[in-house]
Amino acid sequence: MNGNKAAVKLLLADKRVDVNQKGLEELTALSWAAAMGHEAVVQLLLAAEGINVESRSAEPDSTLLGTRDGARSCGDALTYCRGN
């Protein structure tokens, strides 16, 4: 997604798109957006209907919010995007 907010909006508008679909390394779009610091995309995905912030990859302790330096809440993930 490379932080492309417009592309994410188009995909979220398509009801065939599974917002929790896992891809490379069994991570969701939300996990990748947070890990890459794409705040605008994180905000869009957090607002999406049915979003699962507790999704895990194959790695232990790999919830979305455990992927970036111990972030444990949506606010922590957004703070990381903004400041680091």
Q: Where are the domains of the chain?
A: 5-83
Q: Tell me the DSSP string of 16-38.
A: TS-TT---GGG--HHHHHHHHT-
In the chain, beta strands by DSSP E:
none
Q: pLDDT digit string (tens) for 21-55?
A: 988 778 888 888 887 888 889 889 989 999 888 77
Residue closest to 77 by CA, chosen among 34, 33, 18: 34
For residues 45 and 10, is the Cβ–Cβ distance under 8 A?
Answer: no
Backbone angles phi, psi at 27, to 5 degrees: -105, 150
Q: What average pLDDT does the segment 61-73 reach?
A: 50
pTM: 0.70
For residues 56 and 63, is the Cβ–Cβ distance under 8 A?
Answer: yes
Topology (CATH) of 5-83: 1.25.40
